[in-house]
Amino acid sequence: MMSKKMADAINEQINAEFYSAFLYLSMATKLEDMTLPGFAKWMRVQYEEEVFHGMKLLDHMVERGQRVHLRDIAAPPVEWASPLEIFSEAYEHEVKVTEMINNLVRTAMDDNDFATNQFLLWYVEEQVEEEDNTSTIRDKIKLVNEMPGGLYMLDKELAARTFTPPPAGA
């Protein structure tokens, strides 16, 4: 049986994942506005990933017989000065999300809630990838900013990203 404290914390995380989705969707529209369709496509895929993260938590709550409390999602920012600013902020955001996931794991461990702890390990691994993806793109932008046409090349590279939901049970 999941404790109330654990259920409240997961409900909060569901909200945080949907906020992440909104944040990245807003970043995607700003990148469209900067005429960087490949960067925007990458962010749209990131939006889909965040919705998946939220839904995976929601499904786990349902499976464990817990009530899901959907809350207001805060409005994300709409303006950034450059793609570098966007990806730096995305990386910082992911660092914060990692801390939130770590706190959830701590709560599950304190509760001796082995099922939730096991379930959360997927998110622990996912956060390694989330931080790596955003920091790698941030660093590539720094590299190519020195070269004419560099952003254009990077835009082409990022356009290739597609969303593939992990197999059921993954």
Tell me the residue nearest to ligand OFO as measured from the CB. 20
Of 40 and 144, which CB lies nearer to ligand OFO in the complex structure?
Answer: 40
Neighbouring C-alpha atoms within 13 Å toward the C-beta of 164: 6
Binding pattern to ligand OFO, positions 81-110, x when CB under 6 A?
Answer: -------------x--x-------------
Residue type, 164: T
Find the binder of ligand OFO among 17, 44, 66, 144 (CB under 6 A).
17
Measured in degrees and rounded to the nearest 5, phi and psi for residue 44 equal -65, -40
3-state class of 68 per DSSP? coil
Q: Which of residues 41-70 bind ligand OFO (CB under 6 A)?
A: 50, 53
Q: Largest Cα–Cα distance of the chain, in whole Å?
A: 58
Of 40 and 151, which CB lies nearer to ligand OFO in the complex structure?
Answer: 40
Q: What is the 3-state secondary structure (H, E, C) of 108-149?
A: HHHCCCHHHHHHHHHHHHHHHHHHHHHHHHHHHHHHHCCCCC
For the CB of residue 130, give the shortest distance to ligand OFO in the complex, in Å: 4
Contact between 113 and ligand OFO per CB under 6 A: no
Residue 165 to residue 170: CA distance in whole angstroms: 10
Of 34 and 52, which CB lies nearer to ligand OFO in the complex structure?
Answer: 52
Helices 37-63 + 83-110 axis angle, to 10: 10
Which residues would be at the binding site for ligand OFO (CB under 6 A)? 17, 20, 50, 53, 94, 97, 130
